[in-house]
Amino acid sequence: MILYSITLSVNPEVHDEWLKWVQTQFLPSVMLSGHFIEKRMLKLLNEELGQGITYSIQLISPNMEILQEYVDTKEDLLEKPLRDQFGKHFVEFRTYLEVVEL
């Protein structure tokens, strides 16, 4: 399994609206794409003063091929409304991590 982690730092001025949109629009759409079997959203607790509010959205995909299919065919389409509405109010980075069973 592959964990697709999207870390975002959001401007506090739009935080509440952004969070509601991500929870009610973005994440449901991503899950409906059929490329992920689990989702999780975490809030960073040790924020630096004056910085944005930071979240990690973690999506579990069965394998790299399915994740790559999402990135190639769905990601831009599903993220366009997020970028259109909030694009100048957040920064992000993405990582792919292989789940190692213990």
Whether the Cβ atoms of residue 7 and residue 101 lie closer than 8 Å to each other: no
pLDDT at res. 96: 96
Whether the Cβ atoms of residue 78 and residue 29 lie closer than 8 Å to each other: yes
Which mean pLDDT values do the consecutive 10-residue runs of the chain (102 residues) have?
95 94 95 97 81 93 97 91 87 92 85
The amino acid at 56 = S
